[in-house]
Structure 1
């Protein structure tokens, strides 16, 4: 059987693509990147590792692992990272922009349609079913990540502690992630068998087919990947103003209490703590957007996630929906649609601009830290904590989708939100259960499940209204 592999191992890497060729491929990936981070990463692996051999398997996994350590959407950061490896900063910029641009445009169009038609009974009926399906999507994501992350009792304990910390004690989300990372880092030293995956640092038994990037390293053409204080300072001098300059300008022009400053400041802070992807941070964003700022209602947050599930690009694009509605409902001197569009643009800007900063600043050091066991262990612990965070998100969604009312139990600092059992909506519960069965038992895709539940919700509401 080894005959199939040996000739490939010695095969020279293909010639590097031109900048234009790479841009066309990144545009294709951006247009086809449906299915959340798992589908997007699989698409990039197919296009970049299997078909074009732009990057080898082990370097691809190395880049992915470290992008998962960073805050922000890991799939988009992986695109930036690989684009940066091949064509320096311009390549990373083009890869990252083309990865999110199609989804941003589609999400803006859907947000406008949502704002204009939200009061129509047929739209309410369709979103009733979508909300129920989104609950199933979140549960399926939690189970998928749990199967990969909870390999031993330590990881299970971290996930349980993260869930209890959020749901019962309302510990801030960033502290949960920081504590998990610190625990993993310490665990790598004192209990490596629990925190470091077997085979870490090795290529494993499968051969690593050389890619374009590997050949560039072998030829000494990767000077931009070498750590340099001067380069790091230049990156900070360019990308910090790009990211935070608009926020500072809005603060000066409109004041701290304006919706523009609030959007810029809040989503800039989210860009620093969004470890684990959109599912992990949504409950935290929803609590602030619904309770603290009053930008939207609890059910609308679930609507936004349903819309984001149907668009290409990162799932964290749901934040653009939140920014759109926040500005749409507080337009000031602008028309609501113009204000909403600007709010969506501002949200996307402060959400994705930091991703380029993290890669361009940290990329050289990430390359220098290949095979670092402490970083790997911190990633394992953070991923385990994300399971508990997503479990909290699923419960939050269930309280607002399946039940019409909830109440907060409060005793000695223990204050979980509990459902009012009598307020259960059997129609939403039935649709959520059907969606779970469809996705988990019959492996039906997310898009067909969302569409079926939207239609089912409309039918159920019509039948019950008629009865």
Structure 2
């Protein structure tokens, strides 16, 4: 969208939206980007479909948490750096405060025994929510283009098999679709992709660092700057450092940290706040959260002007469409990967199916209500078993 286009909404309205989404938006990155599309593109029409696709493509190309980057980019669309900053803060802050409170409770009571029972029901409900989100994104973005479906299916199958999202798959999807759409005129524009090359990342090493906070800052900066993929993709990296290398948490504490991220709204990566709190109290939580999210903020706002400037060119448009198809395919594949872990038995399968049915058949049902009911069911089922 051109810079001179005036937004149909105020910056305050956008910040309040992301504050609300960060407070009640359950389901992880797949669901959260789906909510943004539903609310801001389809219902309120604040953001165009093209702007949304550009944001999704950029968020998948850059390292860091998908949903947070998407929120930052949407803030940038009409309100530039201030909008990106405020939207990002509004989105992350509510869940950060929640994990701080849970961290304090966890430390005080030396563990959260009821959390596994809650997660039993919530995990199944989350799979239902992200399944519907992935379905709607697929239906809206892929359409009837056979080439996009090819890219989509390759990305989905690869994600299911490898249980990881591969940045080269997204780039390959973009190049493939660009070649499909290429013409003599587009060849003359080949040089226009140069501005999309991301700045070289500065390698960060924790070797020789002094003090826990320094270790936390350096380690979580690496996590935010070098880990690609959405949501739980960062978990294996965190495990290697938090449990194996530094020993800040034991195995059970780390699994509880992941569970905290899943039962709280907002970006799943906010688990870093809980981990930082257990490692070094409030300063540790603040340092871990800042170190994780600041790189993704930079990787969004620095390339964003080039996406805005060159994104409408036919060659770039085809490239972005290809990346978008691969990204949504990876999201669909992630539903299967996460479903394997959360759908454990008949009760969880029934909860998941019920959530899908409710979301497809009942128009105005609120996701937080679904999560609450699922949490209660989880506790009841576990207590009976």
TM-score computed with the length of structure 2 as normaliser: 0.72
Matched, 1:347 2:289: yes
Question: Which residue in the other structure is 2:226 paired with?
Answer: 269
Within 1, Cα distance between the matches of 2:257 and 2:347?
18
Q: Quick check: 1:160–1:388 contact (8 Å CA) kept in 2?
A: yes
SS at match of 1:253: coil
Within 1, Cα distance between the matches of 2:292 and 2:139?
33
Q: Quick check: 2:71–2:88 contact (8 Å CA) kept in 1?
A: no
Within 2, Cα distance between the matches of 1:91 and 1:438?
35
Matched, 1:388 2:329: yes
CA deviation vs aligned residue, 1:167-187 (integer Å, no higher than 9, x gap): 335676222222222222222
Q: 2:374 aligns with which of 453, 461, 467?
A: 453
Deviation (angstroms), 1:282: 2.9
- Say if 1:385 and 1:298 are closer, same or farther in 2 by CA, change over 3 A: farther
Within 2, Cα distance between the matches of 1:46 and 1:148?
10
Matched, 1:160 2:148: no
Q: Indicate the RMSD between aligned Cα atoms, in angstroms.
A: 4.1
Within 1, Cα distance between the matches of 2:158 and 2:303?
30
Q: 2:136 aligns with which of 138, 144, 149?
A: 144
Specify the structure having the higher radius of gyration (Cα). 1
Question: Which residue in the other structure is 1:213 paired with?
Answer: none
Within 1, Cα distance between the matches of 2:122 and 2:83?
37
Counterparts of 1:361-380 in structure 2, within 5 Å, are 361-380=302-321
CA deviation vs aligned residue, 1:222-274 (integer Å, no higher than 9, x gap): xxxxxxx9xx9xxx8xxx9xx97xx959665249995543322022113xx45
Within 2, Cα distance between the matches of 1:168 and 1:98?
35
Matched, 1:320 2:283: no
CA deviation vs aligned residue, 1:103-153 (integer Å, no higher than 9, x gap): 433444345446656844444322221111112122122211111233222
Question: Which residue in the other structure is 2:74 paired with?
Answer: 78
Higher relative contact order (CA 8 A, sep 6+): 2
Within 2, Cα distance between the matches of 1:128 and 1:148?
31
Moved beyond 6 Å, runs of 4+: 45-50
- Say if 1:397 and 1:112 are closer, same or farther in 2 by CA, change over 3 A: farther
Q: Quick check: 1:283–1:393 contact (8 Å CA) kept in 2?
A: no
Aligned residues: 343
Within 2, Cα distance between the matches of 1:173 and 1:299?
27
Within 2, Cα distance between the matches of 1:46 and 1:389?
22
Deviation (angstroms), 1:387: 3.0
TM-score computed with the length of structure 1 as normaliser: 0.61
Deviation (angstroms), 1:453: 0.8
- Say if 1:301 and 1:158 are closer, same or farther in 2 by CA, change over 3 A: farther
Counterparts of 1:428-443 in structure 2, within 5 Å, are 428-443=348-363
Deviation (angstroms), 1:162: 1.3
Could you tell me which runs of 5 or more consecutive residues in structure 1 were left unpaired when the two chains were aligned: 1-12, 51-56, 193-228, 275-280, 309-314, 404-424
Matched, 1:104 2:110: no
Q: Quick check: 1:140–1:436 contact (8 Å CA) kept in 2?
A: yes
